[in-house]
Structure 1
Amino acid sequence: MLNADDKLQLENKFPELKIKLEQPTVDNTYITISNLKGNKNLELLLGDNEDFDSVNSLPLTELIFLEDFIGIYYENQLEIAIRGIDNISRGRLFSFERNNKEIKITMSFKQKKIEAILSTMEQTYISRIQTLLSTNGRRSSSPTLIIKNITEKDLSEIRKLLNCISFDLNFNFGIMVDSVDYNPQFGLFKRPRKMPEYNELTLTYKTYQPELIEYYKIAKQMTYLPFKYLCYFHIIEFFMDKSSYLEAKEKLKYIISRPDFHYNMDEYISNVVNNLKEEVANNIIIKSSTL
């Protein structure tokens, strides 16, 4: 059972952190640790000597805890706790863990080479920390995505990077991952396409629209087909609007650049207006026919 000496030992080792000893009953004590760098809302819960030993061996004051999802940054690398968002992804991650496999990813990001490892077998800092989070009722850890050669300035774009890696993993391996969600929804189980034999992947960093990625993730998890359809339709709708805009833009640039534009301005402007009306009308018809 944890006691005041354990609390004092942690206070001496981590003076910047807030450490409390709680004793709800005579034979039950636990220690909470808060004021963690990067995320003041997180709290670690130590319930026994095993938890104490785990925390005591962590460089807690050197870790920056991410605000948006469970992850840490230290020594130019990230560790992010991830989950499969559907049955197929969860099954494949479990298969990786059972067979001691991992996926290695190489990517060019901000004119530098970064390396990422999707690991289910390595005992990472974040996998140990996740079992101590007071909000994690399961008291268990998830697979870890380790991203190396990241600077502290890059942290503001980690969500975009995670979206890129997640979407490309889904395309290549049929594994759709996301940061840890404490209330995962289970989607329909489908027959997966054959897994590729390789476990190393070179990706190109791409900035996906965050809203579209969210719609895609929700659709992957959704069991009610009409709602699944609406999520996919929102993605298609975005590109329909963008396609119409780009086509109208090209037509406008072509007309403005004509040598006789200033001499026949009224006629050309009338053509532009009519083209825009036609594009809008076509877009409305297409959208109406799909609903």
Structure 2
Amino acid sequence: MQIKLTKIEENILKELKLLNKENKFVIHECYKGYPAEFTSKLVNGITETKKVKAEYARMEYCIDIKFNEIEIRLVIKSSDDLQSFKNLLSNKNNFLTNCLGCYNEEYVDLLIYKINSEKLFFSNHVNKLELDLFFQQKKLTIELSQNPKDNLLADFIKIYNGPKNLTNNKTILRIKGLELNSSKISEDDLKSLLSSVFFDIKCLRNEYFEVYDYHFLSENYKIRKSIYKQEASDKHRLVFKKLIPELIEYFKVADQINYSPFKFLCYYHILEYFLDKSAHLAIKRKIDSVLYQSDFDANSDSYIDEILQSFKDEGDRLKSDKIKIQRVLQEFLNKETILEFINNINLNNHFFKDQIFEFKNKVILAQIKTDNESQFFKSLSDRIYSIRCSVVHSNPDFGIKKGVPFVSSKKNLSILEKEIYLLEEIGKTLIIGSKIPLSNNGYSQ
């Protein structure tokens, strides 16, 4: 069906195409319908409803554009938005490369957000925080304020259309006197400065802030969409499952955490919950199989030796977390189901080839092998365990075999994010597979 554009929409599209002569961004046309809006009030005991806004439809233009090689989505709805986009293009060279900030000859503006749970600026404080300090022989003035009308990021915030909400309670950190346009101050210097400033604010006000980085602002919904693409219906029939509470807490906390290494650990805790339990279960199964042998009485010495050997074998295996992980995966997972999941999220090229983390020393995640069941589960467990060691250990003087500490670079986080999709799916499978049996023939009251 051909949509007839209004004159304004035609002009916006025409200008966008002119701006994109060098194909520096991608334009998506998106026709949006909006329902009517109503208001209700009580008059003499009778509710009266009045239409305050009629239903309407319009064409919106979504723009995929790269900041520091990370794809960011913007949306153009009006001529004002188009002007903001033009301003953004003309000013793009003054944007920082590693976080959402922009600078001119006078100051640097950064968009920041609060990472702890305290209220943003306590009510007994003014809606502004001013700080003075010396940095590299320069006196800096730092202002922290909410919803400032005049800031260098206003155009970006206005048309940004990614997974984060930047318009509500936006907080701008302005640094005067830094001279970022000179060659003397680098973005690494700025990062060190912000680490110190944010730590001091936490100590003074119990509010901890962070700067938005482009990876955090990027559209990561594409993989999610492919995971859930089969769920087209809005109506589903569910089956009650009595789930292990501790595992649900890990799963829930993982969804609340934005920092990928810690998110990985939450999902890993679900797997870790079963590591020693798997050995106990293996021993129990061995004992059960032996005790019910018809010739147990006649050959009890031989069978008892067999049980004792099982204890010894399991004790040796318990020395290695990798073996524990592999056994849990083999017990709960189905190889073909996992391969299908990887294929559905279009990450075959990621998981079926080596990935390299750039830490103090390089850490290679060997590809997942699919030749047979044993190789598949061993390579998968090795890959998970390798990441776990780097995320857990922070001591830079550890030997390489014990784990090289994780470094949160753009490349490393991008690799880890893809690994997390698979570990999350493994966590779901473990939670469902370990559900507590129900009484009353499987029905709950």
Give me the TM-score of the superposition, normalised by structure 2. Answer: 0.36
RMSD value, Cα: 4.9
Unaligned residue ranges in structure 2 (runs of 5+): 1-5, 33-56, 221-253, 267-391, 397-445
- Structure 2 counterpart of 1:29, one-letter code: M
Superposed CA offset, 1:104-153 (max 9, x none):
11121111112211110312232441242232453625211111222233
Q: 2:173 aligns with which of 141, 145, 150?
A: 145
C-alpha deviation, 1:84, in angstroms:
0.9
User: Where does residue 4 of structure 1 map in the other structure?
Assistant: 10
1:176 to 208, 217, 236: 208
2:202 partner SS: helix
CA offsets, 1:197-249, max 9 Å, x none?
Answer: xxxxxxxxxxxxxxxxx9xxx7xxx9xxxxxxxxxx988x79xxxxxxxxxxx
Q: Aligned-pair distance for 1:163?
A: 0.8
Q: Which amino acid aligns with 2:156?
A: I
Higher RCO by CA contacts (8 Å cutoff, separation 6 or greater): 1
Return the offset for 1:172: 1.4
Q: In the TM superposition, what is the alpha-carbon distance from 1:18 to its structure 2 partner?
A: 3.8
Deviations 1:16-69 (A, max 9, x none): 88465532449543334566676674443223344235445x364234222322
Secondary structure, aligned partner of 2:162 = coil
Which of structures 1 and 2 has the bigger CA Rg? 2
- Summarize the Cα distance change of 1:138–1:92 in structure 2 as closer, same or farther, 3 Å threshold: closer
Secondary structure of the corresponding residue to residue 116 of structure 1 = strand
Q: Aligned partner of 1:45: which letter?
A: V
Counterpart secondary structure, 2:121: helix
The answer on 1:156 being equivalent to 2:178 is no
Residue 65 of structure 1 is matched in structure 2 by 95
Return the letter of the residue paired with 2:144. L
Give distance in 2, aligned partners of 1:45 and 1:120. Answer: 23
Letter in 2 for 1:156: E
Give yes or no for contact 1:100–1:121 (8 Å, CA) kept in 2.
no
The 1-side partners of 2:106 and 2:20 are apart by 22
Distance 1:83 1:104 in 2: 17
Aligned pairs, number: 204
- How do 1:94-113 residues align onto structure 2 when only pairs under 5 Å count? 95=123, 101-113=127-139
Structure 1 counterpart of 2:76, from 34, 42, 46: 46
Runs of 5+ in structure 1 lacking a partner?
A: 188-213, 223-232, 239-291
1:42–1:23 CA distance, 2 compared to 1 (3 A):
closer
The percent of aligned pairs where both chains have the same amino acid is 17
Aligned counterpart for 1:130 among listed residues 157, 173, 191? 157
Match among 140, 154, 167 for residue 114 of structure 1: 140
Say yes or no: does 1:167 pair with 2:199: yes
3-state SS in 2 of match to 1:138:
coil
Specify whether residues 50 and 173 from structure 1 end up closer, same or farther in structure 2 by C-alpha distance, changes over 3 A only: same
1:149–1:17 Cα change, 3 Å: farther
Match of 1:87 in 2: 117
C-alpha displacement of 1:13: 7.6
Normalised by the length of structure 1, the TM-score is 0.52
